[in-house]
Amino acid sequence: MAKTRSHAGRSIAAHAILITYTLIALFPVFVIVINSFKSRRAIFAEPLMPPMPGNWDLVGYTTVLEQGDFFQYFLNSMTVTVASLFFVLLFGAMAAFALSEYRFRGNLLMGLYLALGIMIPIRLGTVAILEMMVSAGLVNTLTALILVYTAQGLPLAVFILSEFMRSVSDDLKNAGRIDGLSEYRIFFTLVLPLVRPAMATVAVFTMIPIWNDLWFPLILAPSEETKTITLGSQVFIGQFVTNWNAVLAALSLAIVPVLVLYLIFSRQLIRGITAGAVK
């Protein structure tokens, strides 16, 4: 009897702490989003009230849509993220397959070489990367960003994918070899479909930092035509600091796509983190 009561007490305490922290985590986002739908007066007078018929105002959103070229920024971000993701997954899976499937001289060394990039951030090479992009004429192109993000994403992708590829059964691959499939066919038709869950995990891990990056867009592609949504909202908000409606609306617009993607993929992401950590 006493034991069950102490259990209940402990579980109430656990819920209380977790709810408190959940509120701390969500409150700032919540405040921004609700206020973006309100009139300027209501934002200041009663910041914690939800939007209602009395204080409803979409002036922030109309300003954002008129002033900023957010559709273009969004398209740029999509192009960069999807293209980099494609190359990271394709090249990463190929290299991971070579490292996990074949025994050859320098295998371990090659694995370590590729893993170096997990710990050493690519930003430290920025000075030389910019010089290189200038001499290649790639400054202010999305290609420059795609190249950099592909290089940035590869080390972790190779590392995670080769762990998973080791678990693909040898019998299956050998059966394919006996049937006369080339090594390329074995990779593309037998192995790739089997590691699809791991590819999804790598995709989520790779996608978030690329979408959110400010450093490389700022340095390599700051022109109006190539701005990503992260850089675009940073510049826009910087110019409209005093227009609270516009700032709040721009922030809400920047939050929503990421949030929707996260809610779709959160299961994948969390499973990925927990699976990777157990190893």
Partner 1 sequence: MARRKPFRWHIGVFLAPAVLVYTAIMIIPLFGTLNLSLYNLDGQNRIFVGLANFVTLFGDPRWSDAFWNALWNNCWFFIIHMLVQNPIGILLAALLSSPRLRMAAFYRTAIFIPTILSFVIVGFVWKLILSPIWGIAPGMLDAVGLKFLFAPWLGKEEYALTTLALISVWQFVGIPMMLIYAALLSIPDDVIEAAEMDGLTGWSQFWKIKLPLILPSIGIISILTFVGNFNAFDLIYVAQGALAGPDFSTDILGTFLYRTFFGFQLQLGDPHMGAAIASAMFVIILIGVCLYLFGIQTRLRRYQF
Residues 161-180 close enough to bind partner 1 by CB under 8 A: none
At closest approach, how far in Å is the CB of 56 from partner 1? 19
Cα gap 131→139, rounded to integer Å: 9
At closest approach, how far in Å is the CB of 244 from partner 1? 8
Segment 80 to 99, residues that bind partner 1, using CB under 8 A: 87, 90-92, 94-95, 97-99
Stretch that binds partner 1, among 29-37, 49-57, 64-72, 169-177 (CB under 8 A): 29-37
Binding mask 206-245 for partner 1 (x = CB under 8 A): --x--xxxxx---x----------x--xx--x------x-
Stretch that binds partner 1, among 64-72, 111-119, 163-171, 194-202 (CB under 8 A): 111-119
Nearer to partner 1 (CB atom), residue 72 or residue 215:
215
Segment 123 to 162, residues that bind partner 1, using CB under 8 A: 123-132, 147-148, 150-152, 154-155, 158
Cα gap 177→159, rounded to integer Å: 26
Segment 30 to 49, residues that bind partner 1, using CB under 8 A: 31-32, 43-44, 47-48
Which residues lie closer than 8 Å to 159 by C-beta, 6 or more apart?
114, 115, 118
Q: Which two tokens stand for residue 43?
A: 């934002």
Nearer to partner 1 (CB atom), residue 52 or residue 270:
270
Beta strands in the chain (DSSP E): none
Nearer to partner 1 (CB atom), residue 172 or residue 260:
260
Which residues lie closer than 8 Å to 228 by C-beta, 6 or more apart?
73, 76, 77, 80, 145, 213, 217, 221
φ and ψ of 240, to 5 deg: -110, 25
DSSP letter at 122 equals G
Q: Are 40 and 56 in contact (CB under 8 A)?
A: no
